[in-house]
Structure 1
């Protein structure tokens, strides 16, 4: 799965001269936490709800309401935006995008193609993608199996499941150490007992069933 499969296309943008209070109101109305910033159609930055809130006065300020409103009315998005936001291409893989967000501690990535803003992908989009990977929205059973890391381990597992006429909705491998791995398998059966018995008879311990 790639970024282009999960991103929001044609994202709503905001001008760099937009007052910050107007930007906050727009985010609230659209229920988003970040907006790309443009200038004459060209991407120049990214502004987030967190950045806007950090420049608004706290309740403990000694400023009067009049003074606060005056100051805020003079501040525009370009004063607080990220001027060099991290971008990716539409063909970037979802796992690469997740890693970039994690390493840079950011909540979204702008998607660029030939210097054109074509989308935005957020943490929520990443979460939705991984929910899809695990098949959580479809009925079935989740099994956690313990196997040794060897050539053919997955093939042996899938052959057993195939013989029982059960379909695999998702399969994820989690390495525990150099020799042992846990396979998280989601299958399209609500009665996993026959499969569990067959797996354990073939020397594949079933650690969890839910």
Structure 2
């Protein structure tokens, strides 16, 4: 899954000559905590709520409100921005982007190729991607299967479901600390839950839960 399929393509940004006061207003109005800094179509920095706070005079400052406003309206983003910005390619895997975020402890990665910015991927984009990949928010039925680490279990689950003329929309497989493998299957359409559960059990498949799911907006 490449980053380009999940990144935010409409990038809100500032220039190096934007004042700190103007950038702060933009962040507040659009409910943002980070802004790429772009000059001549090239990424040159990043400004965050943290860097903005550090640039703002302390509440304990002896400056008057007029002096503080004057200072913030004179200070440019180029004076406070992060210049060594961690980025990711739009062709990198989503997993790579998550690893880079965790390694560098950042919540945003500008998506850059050949010096040009194509979007950003944020922690919110990652959360949304996980929900989409898992099928969360889709109407249908979610079956949670428990299996030992043995060959052919997934094939048996898939065959049992498809033999009932049911459509599998999403499948997520994960390991638990207990050693069990969890297979979560999102099934589309109208499903006779008890009948499907009985069919799975007859195939020796351990069903942890099976329940209807309601449609939810992920926007």
With structure 1 as the length reference, what TM-score do the two structures score? 0.89
Question: Which residue pairs with 2:168 in the alignment?
Answer: 168
Q: Matched residues in 2 for 1:190 and 1:164: separation? A: 9
CA distance in 1, matches of 2:10, 2:185: 36
Q: CA–CA distance in 2 between the matches of 1:208 and 1:76? A: 56
Q: Distance in 2 between matches of 1:79 and 1:192?
A: 61
Calculate the aligned-residue CA RMSD, in Å: 2.0
Task: Give unmatched runs, 5+ long, in structure 2.
Answer: 212-219
- CA positional deviation for 1:205: 1.4
Aligned twin of 2:195:
194
Structure-1 separation of matches of 2:179 and 2:6: 35
CA-to-aligned-CA distance 1:118-140 (integer Å, 9 cap, x gap): 11111222122111111123201
The equivalent residue for 2:51 is 51
Gaps of 5+ in 1: none
Q: Give the corresponding residue for 1:203.
A: 204
Name the CA distance, whole Å, in 1 between partners of 2:97 and 2:37.
21
Q: Matches of 1:53 and 1:80 in 2, distance apart?
A: 10
Q: Does residue 1:81 correspond to 2:107, yes or no? A: no
In the other structure, the counterpart of 2:68 is 68
For 2:16, the equivalent position in structure 1 comes to 16
The CA distance in 1 between the partners of 2:191 and 2:102, in whole Å, is 35
Aligned residues: 210
- The alpha carbon displacement at 1:146 in A equals 0.7
TM-score, normalised relative to structure 2: 0.86
